Structure 1
Amino acid sequence: MSISELKTPTDLRSNATKSVAQALNGILADSYTLYLKTKNFHWHVSGPHFRDYHLMLDEQATEILGTTDLIAERVRKTGNTTLRSIGDIARHQTIKDNDAEFVSADDMLAELREDNLKLVETLRAAKETAGEAKDNATDSLIDDWTDQAEKRAWFLFEASRKD
């Protein structure tokens, strides 16, 4: 099977869809990275707010994972291909992994808050790319994903307040 056999028909210009697909594949890689980091922190959180943080991080991870199929399918609908492996994710991700043996709950919340805000920046840039490509469907989906990431950042901020 050749790549031309995967070519999905679209009325969008090929060069424009390649730019959108590249942006979406970056978002997909960062979403998987953020998902795994959020689950890692969910599994390893400790301290006096364990239950609240544990449940919040699990909810956030579920939400993040829920976007991944939508992102990948949008790439395919534009006639392009998406990520294929963990190695492919690593080549596209901009959010950094955290392999530390121990991370305090406060540091977990701060790091995830910053990662979600970084994802918001990436989503806003992708929205511009989609707009330039006249890809209304991607443009619209990005609004929902941006709102979700902003909400996660907000919850992480409020959960970490000391006053």
Structure 2
Amino acid sequence: MTHTPAKMREIAPLRTPSDLGEEATRDIAAALTTLLADVFALYLKTKNFHWHMSGPHFRDYHLMLDDQGEQLFAMTDDIAERARKVGGTTLRSIGQIHRLQRIADNDADFVTAQDMLAELAQDNQQLTAFLRATHAVCDEYNDVATASVIENWIDQTERRTWFLYEATRSNH
């Protein structure tokens, strides 16, 4: 059996067949890839705050952020696979995430528990807006399958925002 050197092999394009059309594939996959970068950024920030949580409500906040991190991570594969299912490609590296993400990192040495929760509430609100914008792209091309899963992610993201917001309210 002989092997053809990699540079001599013809590379097949990663184009999954889709009835959406080339323009739809390009726009939807790009929107999903940017959304995926945001979800990874929010996932890592949520885990960062989970790992560095302190204070009197440590256990409750630590567990809540762990649950939220799991939910965000679960979204990542679905988002990437939607981009592939419509005929596009998606993220390939941490560097690409950094270039595309719109959710800001937080590299501070110390953040109070209340500031962590408030920042994550804002970030989840921002993610909801990004999800709605991606939904609009899907609507433009009648991609009902992607729009449908985005609707579930919007509901999950609004729930995270609600929990984070309520955890920052004072009892006065």
TM-score, scaled to structure 2: 0.92
Identity %: 58
Q: What is the match of residue 133 of structure 1?
A: 141
Matched with 2:35 is 27
Shift of 1:16: 1.3
Q: Does the alignment pair 1:104 with 2:133?
A: no
Pair 1:59-2:67 in alignment = yes
1:114 aligns with 2:122: yes
Q: 1: CA distance between counterparts of 2:14 and 2:25?
A: 14
Structure 1 match to 2:165: 157
User: Matched residues in 2 for 1:91 and 1:78: separation?
Assistant: 23
Q: Identify the residue that residue 78 of structure 1 maps to in structure 2.
A: 86
**Any idea what the Cα deviations from partners look like across 1:11-70, whole Å, max 9, x if unmatched?**
001101211111111110000000000000000010000000000000000000000000
Residue 45, structure 1, aligned to residue 53, structure 2: yes
1:88 is aligned with what amino acid? Q
CA–CA separation in structure 1 for the residues paired with 2:55 and 2:81? 39
CA RMSD of aligned residues (A): 0.9
Structure 1 CA distance for aligned equivalents of residues 66 and 36 of structure 2? 19
Deviation, structure 1 residue 95: 0.2
Tell me how far 1:5 sits from its aligned partner: 2.6
| C-alpha separation in 2, matches of 1:133 and 1:14 | 11
Moved more, 49-58 or 4-13: 4-13
Equivalent-residue separation in structure 2 for 1:79 and 1:28 (angstroms) = 16
2:44 maps to: 36
Question: Within 1, Cα distance between the matches of 2:118 and 2:64?
Answer: 14
The amino acid of 2:89's aligned partner reads T
Q: Which runs of 5+ in 1 are unaligned?
A: none
Report the counterpart of residue 89 of structure 1 in structure 2: 97
- Larger relative helix fraction: 1
Residue type of the alignment partner of 1:94: R
Distance 2:17 2:63 in 1: 42
Query: Residue 17 of structure 1 contacts residue 133 of structure 1 at CA under 8 Å; is this kept in 2?
Result: no
**Alignment gaps of 5+ in structure 2:** 1-9
Which amino acid is 1:116 matched to? N
Alignment partner, residue 132 of structure 2 = 124
